[in-house]
């Protein structure tokens, strides 16, 4: 008896229309490139003038302009460098920040900002009873701490270097005292530095701490006037249009004594 043969069923699959090619990949790549270019243009339009000039300068001279722009700063002030041209902008910015202080109306007559050959000078002058420091002491009081913190939070955003000076009036200590106006002016400048460096100012931002005692009186015709006792903060200029690395104006680094006595008897203030 013959064995039945197996039934074989053949199924044919429908054929595709053939290979479509890679034209769609080219179109997609062009689309992505166009979107990237759009985003770059939008970013440039919303960036600062310094960045716009830096990008334009790079394409004009890729090897000669890169070292003149940019910083390792973060925050809202990273693109703002204090020069003689934009000093009023910083002055206005600091004034607006100070106006937010709780006792601004009482303290405003003791705050002065002026332009000098070194940069923007911010002077915090004392009153007869003490405004920012305890009388006769290098201890920062509550008003002084609030003021220094406010300034530190703004100045810490800048790439500019800072100098801090301490000044006193001509009222002498007792002849037997081992402490003088030289120590007091240096100690107050250093006390201001410590507060600012723990509240926004970078460790490498302060280049000078100087104590002048009564050698640079605010009112030379009234050497005992309380306003001669003051702290001066100098935001140094960064020079423009130089091929060398940018350096702030100012002299050699010099730091006064860092000791900070709380109270020293013998001085009348």
Predicted confidence (pLDDT) per residue in 104-124, tens digit: 888 888 999 887 888 889 999
Q: What is the pLDDT of residue 229?
A: 94
**pLDDT exceeds 80 at position 147:** yes
Query: Is 170 within a domain?
Result: yes
Same domain, 58 and 146: no
Same domain, 60 and 132: no
Position with higher pLDDT, 104 vs 269: 104
Strand duo 206-211 + 230-236: pairing: unpaired
Q: What percent of the chain has pLDDT over 70?
A: 73
Same domain, 31 and 112: no
**pLDDT exceeds 80 at position 43:** yes
Same domain, 167 and 38: no
**pLDDT exceeds 80 at position 251:** no
Query: Is 202 within a domain?
Result: yes
Position with higher pLDDT, 200 vs 80: 200
Same domain, 63 and 94: no
Tally of helices (H runs) and strands (E runs) in the chain: 6, 6
Burial of 265 (0-12, 13-18, 19+ CB in 10 A): exposed
Tell which of 68, 100, 127 closes a domain.
68
Q: What is the pLDDT of residue 33?
A: 92
CA within 13 Å, CB half, 74: 1
**pLDDT exceeds 80 at position 156:** yes
Domain that holds residue 33: 23-68
What backbone phi and psi angles, to 5 degrees, belong to 175?
-55, -30
**pLDDT exceeds 50 at position 79:** no
**pLDDT exceeds 80 at position 5:** no
**pLDDT exceeds 70 at position 241:** no
pTM: predicted TM-score of the whole model, two decimal places: 0.59
**pLDDT exceeds 90 at position 194:** yes
Query: Is 75 within a domain?
Result: no
Query: Is 265 within a domain?
Result: no
Tell which of 35, 68, 101 closes a domain.
68
Please count the structural domains in the chain.
2
Q: What is the pLDDT of residue 56?
A: 74
Query: Is 35 within a domain?
Result: yes
What's the residue count for the chain? 269
Query: Is 81 within a domain?
Result: no
Q: What CATH code is carried by the domain that includes residue 95? A: 3.30.1330.60
Same domain, 100 and 193: yes
Q: What is the pLDDT of residue 18?
A: 56
Query: Is 16 within a domain?
Result: no
Question: Across residues 149-171, what is the average pLDDT?
Answer: 92
Same domain, 97 and 145: yes
Same domain, 152 and 54: no
Position with higher pLDDT, 122 vs 64: 122
Same domain, 55 and 137: no
Closest CA to 98 of 154, 180, 42: 154
Same domain, 131 and 251: yes
Tell which of 15, 40, 68 closes a domain.
68
Q: What is the pLDDT of residue 103?
A: 77
Q: What is the pLDDT of residue 63?
A: 58
For the packed helices 181-197 and 142-155, what is the interaxial angle rounded to 10 degrees?
60
Query: Is 174 within a domain?
Result: yes
Count other Cβ atoms within 10 Å, centred on residue 175. 6
Residue with tokens 């801090």: 164
Same domain, 103 and 210: yes
Q: What is the pLDDT of residue 2?
A: 64
Q: What is the pLDDT of residue 245?
A: 46
**Predicted confidence band at 254 (pLDDT cuts at 50, 70, 90)?**
very low
């Amino acid at each position: 008896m013959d064995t039945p043969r197996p039934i074989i069923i053949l199924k044919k699959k429908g054929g595709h229309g053939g290979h479509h090619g890679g034209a769609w990949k080219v179109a997609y790549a062009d689309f992505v490139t166009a979107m990237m270019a759009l985003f770059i243009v939008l970013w440039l339009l919303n960036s600062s003038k310094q960045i716009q000039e830096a990008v334009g300068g790079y394409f004009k001279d890729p090897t000669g302009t890169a070292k003149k722009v940019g910083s390792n700063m973060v925050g809202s002030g990273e693109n703002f460098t204090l020069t003689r041209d934009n000093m009023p902008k910083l002055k206005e910015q600091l004034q607006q920040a100070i106006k937010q202080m709780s006792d601004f109306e009482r303290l405003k007559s003791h705050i002065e900002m002026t332009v000098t050959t070194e940069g923007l000078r911010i002077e915090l002058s004392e009153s007869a009873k003490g405004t920012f420091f305890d009388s006769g002491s290098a201890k920062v009081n509550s008003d002084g701490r609030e003021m220094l913190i406010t300034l530190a939070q703004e100045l810490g955003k800048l790439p500019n270097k800072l100098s801090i000076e301490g000044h006193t009036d001509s009222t002498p200590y007792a002849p037997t005292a081992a402490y003088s106006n030289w120590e007091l002016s240096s100690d107050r400048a250093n006390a201001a530095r410590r507060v600012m460096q723990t509240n926004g100012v970078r460790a490498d931002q302060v280049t000078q701490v100087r104590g002048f005692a009564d050698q640079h009186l605010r009112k030379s015709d009234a050497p005992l006037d309380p306003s001669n006792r003051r702290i001066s903060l100098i935001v140094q200029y960064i020079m423009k249009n130089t091929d060398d690395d940018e350096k702030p104006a100012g002299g050699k680094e010099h730091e006064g004594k860092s000791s900070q006595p709380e109270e020293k008897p013998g001085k009348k203030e």
